[in-house]
């Protein structure tokens, strides 16, 4: 077996950037002229100087009468000033025929050209006409109601600057000054190649051991968001000849070449081997002290960047934004991106690894717990890291915290700086943390249809309860059973917390119907039988979830095969059983939609919502409570197998 040539030299992030950028050209790629209709999303290569005045003439801003302001002095509603009405109506687009002399005025429409001699407009509401006389009941000052030529844009004024990104606002300005041909920088062409035998394109049939190629879509669209042109060259299998051919094709047609993934069994990193053959200078960096993103390889040939991004989605997109996006911006002619930062309070304790710069993805939640401490950040940062292999982590994040390579621990409550992924990032109107439920998904969808930005984080019931106590969310979804009182959730009501009654759902044993070990008996009897069968694998739930509490009560100290394998939602339990990675588990009935999966009921449970009293007044919270009481939504929940009743949406207050 050939030895895998891993990392040549793992170096610091800043040093890696400096070496990489020193080896490539960072100048814009040349100008081109495009029609105004094609200019949206492009970057100006020259300043735009107005060749006309806007407006090009003195213009009326309202319907009224063009007059001399001095003639209106002393006008009152009961003692109007009388002026001679000129027999002319000045419409927009017409040139006035008469001059306004002392003691006269004329009718003018919005946008009409101001006649010579006039210096103000009297609104129609403040004037009457009587037998050829204009009766003005309110005085006006000079310039009132007039947009003078060049007050918006002056001839010779720089309107837009080199490096400006053209949105609809800028193209509107260009149209207003009569421009039709726009000088822009050429868009960089970025070739995108995915590598690996296990990668298949979306739309193909899924097979065991394969994964859909999400990297190509994420990276290509990130390229497009930066104003560059992605060239998607598809998937290259772990064949060095094919990969070399695709890479050479990419270098011939693109300004930047991006590869992701591509480790073959025992043969090392084929992408690295192909890039290793390049010269002038070839590989610059292979391995950067980052988490995630350590395997990145930065190379160049004749000033052209070529980058091998890690195969895992979160690592790939992080390293893209860290190393590639700044290069695309400079080749595009964009000005350097300003870092949009927010101060936030870290919601939980975070351990880091000494020696590597770590990027901690977070969601920003309203930190609305009332306090007299004015220095406390308005936002709470809640880590959402699921590992670099997660395809949803980055898309669900609002921003990230950069943890210095010398920092080993960040305490809960410490203030951190969050770099926003989007400048337009705003905290959700309604934040729900806790146990996952298909019924909750339906409620959130109904709220979003009404324009309420709702966000849910699946952490388990206990973590949701902790979050609502700390003021890190609005509502906690939970189903925590109390053996002593034999009730759900009510025993957790305390001072400052209230419980919103939710609905009932059914927990049960799930298994493959063709597995004979699960036939012909009640759920509890089957569990007592299979829990001691080492060949029968279970799939567990995460600590702190209400379902995990039920599981541990049923097992009564026993830890069957598979007990240590945990997942944080009901759907993942079903998936593990469908794929044969597990034989049984506990889940709610509503997620059992596959005809091959059996369900035996264990118990009904109450899924309720804990809320801080400080949040009850919020309109999105009231909308949530209203949704629980909505008849149409209740009917939809019932059709899912979820039971509502007359108390659904009722409030059970804690001690005040």
pLDDT at site 380: 80
Return the C-alpha torsion angle 99, 105, 108, 111, nearest 10. Answer: 60
Report pLDDT digits (tens) over 491-518. 999 988 999 999 999 999 999 999 999 9
Residues in the chain: 656
Task: Using the predicted structure, report yes or no on whether residue 170 has a pLDDT greater than 90.
Answer: yes
> Looking at per-residue confidence, does 345 or 423 come out higher?
345
Topology given in CATH for the domain delimited by 13-27+187-332: Molybdenum Cofactor Biosythetic Enzyme; Chain A (3.40.980)
User: 528 has which bridge partners?
Assistant: none
Query: What is the model's pTM?
Result: 0.70
Which residues touch 56 (CB under 8 Å, ≥6 apart)?
Answer: 149
**Would you place residue 427 in the very low, low, confident or very high pLDDT band (cuts 50, 70, 90)?**
confident
| Count of other CB atoms within 10 angstroms of residue 226 | 24
Report pLDDT digits (tens) over 515-572. 999 988 899 999 999 999 999 999 999 887 888 988 999 999 999 999 998 888 888 8
Residue 622, judged by CB atoms within 10 A of its CB (0-12, 13-18, 19+), counts as: exposed
Q: What phi and psi values does residue 112 have, to the nearest 5 degrees? A: -70, 155
Alpha-carbon gap, residue 420 to 427, rounded angstroms: 11
Alpha-carbon gap, residue 281 to 275, rounded angstroms: 11
Cα Rg, the chain, nearest whole Å:
34
Report pLDDT digits (tens) over 108-128. 999 999 999 999 999 999 999
Task: Using the predicted structure, report yes or no on whether residue 6 has a pLDDT greater than 70.
Answer: no
Q: What phi and psi values does residue 415 have, to the nearest 5 degrees? A: -85, 135
Alpha-carbon dihedral sign for residues 155, 161, 166, 170: negative
Query: How do the domains of the chain map onto residue ranges?
Result: 13-27+187-332, 31-54+152-185, 59-147, 341-420, 429-656
Q: Distances from the Cα of 251 to the Cαs of 23, 192, 215, 259, in angstroms?
A: 16, 11, 20, 12
Topology given in CATH for the domain delimited by 31-54+152-185: Molybdopterin biosynthesis moea protein, domain 2 (3.90.105)
CA-wise closest residue to 222 among 325, 300, 132? 325
Q: Which single residue is written with the structure tokens 């302001």?
A: 69
CA-wise closest residue to 390 among 456, 320, 319, 312? 312
CATH number for the domain formed by residue range(s) 341-420: 2.40.340.10
Which residues touch 99 (CB under 8 Å, ≥6 apart)?
Answer: 115, 116, 117
Homologous superfamily (CATH) for 59-147: Molybdopterin biosynthesis moea protein, domain 3. (2.170.190.11)
CATH number for the domain formed by residue range(s) 429-656: 3.40.190.290
Alpha-carbon dihedral sign for residues 622, 625, 630, 632: positive
Counting DSSP H helices and E strands in the chain, the numbers are 15, 41
DSSP assignment of 233-288: EEEE-S-HHHHHHHHHHHHHH-SEEEEE--EETTTEEHHHHHHHT--TEEEEEE-B
**Percentage of residues in the chain having pLDDT higher than 90:** 49
Report pLDDT digits (tens) over 326-380. 999 999 988 766 567 788 888 778 888 888 888 888 888 766 544 445 556 678 8
């Amino acid at each position: 077996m050939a030895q895998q040539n891993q990392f040549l030299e793992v170096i610091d992030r800043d040093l890696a950037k400096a070496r990489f950028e020193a080896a490539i050209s960072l100048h814009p790629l040349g100008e081109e002229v495009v029609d105004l209709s094609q200019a949206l999303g492009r970057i100006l290569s020259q300043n735009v100087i107005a060749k006309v005045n806007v407006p090009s003439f003195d213009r009326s801003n309202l319907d009224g009468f063009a007059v001399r302001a001095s003639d209106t002095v002393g006008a009152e509603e009961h003692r109007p000033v009388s002026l001679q009405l000129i027999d002319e109506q000045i419409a927009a687009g017409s040139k006035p025929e008469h001059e306004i002399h002392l003691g006269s005025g004329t009718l003018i429409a919005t946008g009409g050209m101001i006649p010579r001699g006039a210096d103000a407009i009297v609104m129609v509401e403040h004037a009457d006409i009587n037998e050829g006389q204009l009766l003005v009941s309110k005085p006006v000052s000079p310039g009132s109601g007039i947009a003078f030529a060049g007050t918006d844009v002056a001839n010779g004024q720089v309107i837009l600057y080199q490096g400006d990104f053209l949105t609809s606002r800028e193209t509107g300005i260009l149209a207003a000054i009569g421009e039709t041909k726009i000088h822009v920088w050429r868009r960089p062409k970025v070739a995108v190649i995915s590598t690996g035998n296990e990668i298949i394109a979306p739309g193909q049939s899924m097979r065991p051991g394969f994964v859909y190629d999400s990297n190509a879509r994420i990276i290509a669209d990130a390229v497009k968001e930066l104003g560059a042109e992605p060239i998607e060259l598809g998937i290259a299998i772990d064949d060095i000849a094919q990969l070399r051919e695709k890479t050479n094709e990419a270098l011939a047609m693109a300004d930047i070449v991006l590869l992701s993934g591509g480790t073959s069994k025992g043969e090392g990193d084929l992408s690295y081997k192909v890039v290793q053959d390049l010269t002038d200078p070839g590989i610059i960096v292979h391995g950067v002290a980052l988490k995630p993103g350590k395997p990145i390889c930065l190379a160049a040939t004749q000033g052209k960047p070529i980058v091998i991004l890690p195969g895992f989605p979160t690592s790939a997109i992080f390293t893209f934004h860290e190393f590639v996006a700044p290069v695309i911006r400079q080749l595009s002619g964009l000005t350097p991106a300003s870092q949009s930062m927010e101060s936030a309070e870290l919601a939980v304790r975070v351990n880091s690894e000494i020696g590597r710069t770590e990027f901690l993805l977070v969601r920003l939640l309203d930190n609305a717990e009332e306090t007299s401490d004015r220095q406390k950040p308005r936002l709470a940062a809640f880590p959402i890291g699921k590992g670099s292999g997660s395809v949803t982590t980055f898309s669900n994040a609002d921003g990230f915290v950069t943890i210095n390579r010398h920092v080993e621990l960040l305490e809960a409550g410490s203030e951190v700086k969050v770099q926003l992924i989007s400048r337009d990032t705003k905290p959700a109107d309604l934040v729900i943390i806790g146990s996952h439920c298909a019924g909750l998904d339906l409620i959130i969808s109904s709220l979003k249809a009404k324009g309420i930005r709702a966000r849910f984080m699946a952490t388990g019931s206990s973590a949701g309860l902790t979050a609502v106590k700390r003021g890190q969310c609005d509502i906690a979804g939970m189903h925590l059973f109390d053996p002593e009182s034999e009730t759900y959730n009510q025993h957790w009501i305390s001072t400052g917390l209230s419980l919103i009654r939710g609905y009932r759902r059914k927990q049960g044993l799930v298994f493959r119907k063709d597995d004979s070990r699960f036939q012909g008996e009640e759920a509890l009897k089957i569990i007592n039988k299979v829990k001691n069968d080492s060949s029968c694998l279970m799939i567990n739930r995460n600590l702190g979830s209400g379902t995990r509490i039920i599981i541990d009560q049923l097992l009564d100290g026993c830890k069957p095969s598979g007990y240590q394998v945990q997942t944080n939602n009901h759907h993942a339990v079903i998936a593990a059983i469908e794929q044969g990675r597990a034989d049984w588990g506990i889940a709610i009935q509503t997620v059992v939609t596959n005809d091959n999966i059996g369900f035996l009921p264990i118990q009904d449970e109450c899924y309720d919502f804990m809320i801080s009293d400080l949040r009850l007044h919020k309109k999105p919270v009231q909308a949530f409570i209203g949704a629980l009481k909505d008849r149409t939504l209740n009917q939809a929940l019932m059709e899912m197998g979820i039971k509502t009743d007359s108390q659904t949406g009722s409030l059970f207050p804690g001690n005040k």
